[in-house]
Amino acid sequence: MFAFAEGLNCARLPAWDEALDELDQDDEVEPLHVVRFGAQVDVQGVTSPVNR
């Protein structure tokens, strides 16, 4: 199984589902970053490229 590692101590990072399960268990968890898209933002630069 392939896993990503944290850069400083090479600790294995959890898979997406594992991370979400951990977040569900903590009622006091707060996001570190929040992105809000509004009318003033052109989100095409954020989405992945697709063949058109």
Concatenated DSSP letters of 1-52: ----B-TTT-PBPPPHHHHHHHHHH-TT---S------TT--GGGTSPP---
In a domain, 47, yes or no: no
In a domain, 11, yes or no: yes
In a domain, 32, yes or no: yes
- Tell me if 14 sits within 8 A of 22, measured CB to CB: yes
In a domain, 20, yes or no: yes
In a domain, 10, yes or no: yes
Query: Which residue is it, tokens 């933002």?
Result: 41
Give the residue numbers spanning the domain of 29: 1-37
- Tell me if 37 sits within 8 A of 43, measured CB to CB: yes
In a domain, 50, yes or no: no
Number of structural domains in the chain: 1
- pLDDT at position 34 is 87
In a domain, 4, yes or no: yes
Q: Could you list the pLDDT tens digit for every one of the 52 residues in the chain?
A: 567 888 888 899 888 899 889 989 999 988 888 888 767 666 666 666 666 5
- pLDDT at position 47 is 66
- pLDDT at position 36 is 81
Here the tokens at position 22 are 């951990």
In a domain, 22, yes or no: yes
